[in-house]
Chain A
């Protein structure tokens, strides 16, 4: 019997009885077949000894989640552009406060399927109103919109964030329009403003005429994906990162077909391997969805990262890399499955909501919501984190939180869970690419 099985049985019993772990009695264990069997199997004579062990494990998890690492290089990976922030934003933010840490954020797919035609038309409308202004003409003369102008990319983000700060819709729309224009220049390989204005009309007509849900043409997919990429840059811009720290891999298996292709070594694994070589991370985070509970993109991204890490470990000799598995709105960890429990305060909930609503403009209407919650994903993520806090409050008792000496624990109203693994543990948990195909 594993520690996880033991913990799970005790935790479930305590939650079922609505008791603190330390208050469980022998009668409680006798009332549950599973818990009783676990008690027998552990060979532990006294119930209180088993409960103390489980309680201590829970405290260790919280302790680990209350501290931050230093001098650490993080590669934060996500299948879609909002997975990281919905997964473990509070822990990311805590680690960004230490300047000795290095952070690199990477989204592995283009994410275009989550951008509606209606939203694209709205953006084109904003661009139409700005493209004729002296401001945009002046920017154009300064080569601001050229793809190679990296400072211009950052300024698109800053312009938008200035608008967030000033609570000014026009400033925000200005930033969005700048980036959309830059994207059109790249997608159409066209720098002439007049021709680009024609493209805007053409695109508006396209988005108006397509029925919702239709698979888009490849260049439209690219354009929609770029919308999400800009939003991710705005999100991490919120926390002071420039576009250089935010990378978009656009793995090739993600094509918008009903059945996505399996990842391949050259097309999907190689870009991740190159990134690992560039970032040289100490910690790699992954959306941990080994059975494809949520979107199967999560599962395929996990496969790509697993293969890349195996190759990287072999090439670099770095076997000390830790993997942080996170989950967000699609399904949850049981407290027994995780190693790190991160306290989340009301303050952090505000940051999450504000950065989600302001950063992910394409998602604020929640056109593709979870079946669990009719609203933006940030609201659901908060709901889950609050539920996780309520679980731990039951397991440890409210006094533990409210009488704790640490203001961090005092202020806790939510919890984020992470599973920490060494590489071998991660490989075991994940599944290999060939196995996924089952010898087909």
Chain B
């Protein structure tokens, strides 16, 4: 009987060299079907997680020097950033070449970052981009300057320029830092509210254009992100539409609590909205290499849900299931609630 089209397409594309190497070193398989639905590589600890993500990123850049990338902010990517910078800074150091080869990376081709297009995943709103705790600052410091990306090819979320008129500032429009999204659906009662309403409309329009720009480039080719306490990817919190696009949006308590230390307290975080690309934005390009990194036992439950549940709005990461190149890179602690992997541990000799 001839194979149908869906049978002809390889349902389990090969892992990359770097991933194959990491898998060899791991005590687990990459997938335990049918319960697990996203390929997952387990490493020993947090630095090893950053190392794997960095090697995979550089491998991808070698193959896609003009690709579109989205990289995370916050504390999660610390080791990823340090590893990328270290490897790029020492690329011609021959003593490292053996290690690169051992890890599946070709030392003959130094990745060229200058041709990459960068897409910012998310940002708080409103936030002054000059503040050190704005994501834009982070991206400028660690990715544009740190990785040597071309700022002209970076698609960024600068809250201080979106929809504001000359002589207006974020503070002058949102004096208490609070944005009332009900203005989307009701008339403004005062002059100030009427201006706020038109600004919200301008931001919404800006978000549509941001999305269009990403799609006109073919969508994101390499997405690296963390996973929040409620399972959020980017700022697509629990309950987000899997077809969602870039938008101005409120967050939930879990996300606000996680952001409290960056923003200087939950009181501030409660007031902040976010601009985030959508889950639909991430999966728009079916060839997207989408990697979620998670470390530690505290993430075990949320990782287990994301990897094992059927597609459901309660688990934002399940939106990635359609991507053949979607991956979870996690530490042993974060894998603790994946039963199939725990079962396989029983058959391993004790250390």
Contacts and interface: CB of A to CB of B under 8 A. Distances in A.
Contacts of A192: none
A149 interface: no
A296 B350 contact: no
B247 to A, nearest CB: 22
Contacts of B260: 367-369
Contacts of A118: 265, 267
A214 B346 contact: no
A213 interface: yes
A211 B297 CA distance: 33
Nearest to A293: B296
A76 B268 CA distance: 34
Contact of A371 (B86, B133, B229, B268): B229
Interface residues of B, number: 49
A213 B268 contact: yes
Nearest to B128: A211
A291 interface: yes
A195 B333 CA distance: 53
Contacts of B257: 369-371, 374
Contacts of A440: 47, 82-83, 86
A1 B298 CA distance: 24
B164 interface: no
A438 B51 CA distance: 9
A428 B230 CA distance: 32
Interface residues of A, number: 44
Contact of A1 (B75, B132, B254, B346): B346
Most buried by A among B86, B298, B299, B339: B298
Nearest to A6: B346
Nearest to A215: B132
Most B Cβ at <10 Å: residue of A213, A296, A331: A213
B48 interface: yes
Contacts, number: 120
B296 A367 contact: no
B264 interface: yes
Given A291-B331, A293-B295, A371 B48 contact: no
B58 to A, nearest CB: 15
Contacts of B296: 289, 291-294, 331
Nearest to B342: A34
B131 A368 contact: no
B346 A212 contact: no
B29 interface: no
B274 interface: no
Contacts of B334: 291
A291 B86 CA distance: 22
Contacts of A289: 296
Nearest to B339: A34
A410 B261 CA distance: 41
Nearest to A113: B261
Given A294-B298, A367-B260, A367-B267, A33 B339 contact: yes
Nearest to A333: B297
Interface string B77-113: 0110111001000000000000000000000000000
Contact of A374 (B253, B261, B262, B268): B253
Contacts of B81: 259
A118 B260 CA distance: 14
A184 interface: no
A117 interface: yes
B75 A259 contact: yes
B266 to A, nearest CB: 6
Contacts of A258: 74-75, 78, 138
A206 to B, nearest CB: 14
23 contacts: A5-B346, A33-B343, A113-B261, A116-B264, A116-B265, A212-B263, A212-B264, A213-B133, A215-B132, A258-B74, A259-B82, A291-B296, A291-B333, A292-B295, A293-B296, A293-B299, A365-B267, A371-B254, A372-B229, A431-B45, A436-B45, A440-B83, A440-B86
Q: Give 9 nearest A-B pairs by CB, closest first.
A: A212-B264, A293-B296, A213-B264, A293-B298, A367-B265, A371-B229, A331-B298, A371-B257, A371-B254
Interface of B: 45-48, 51, 74-75, 78-79, 81-83, 86, 128, 131-133, 138, 229-230, 253-255, 257-258, 260-268, 295-299, 331-334, 339, 342-343, 345-346, 350
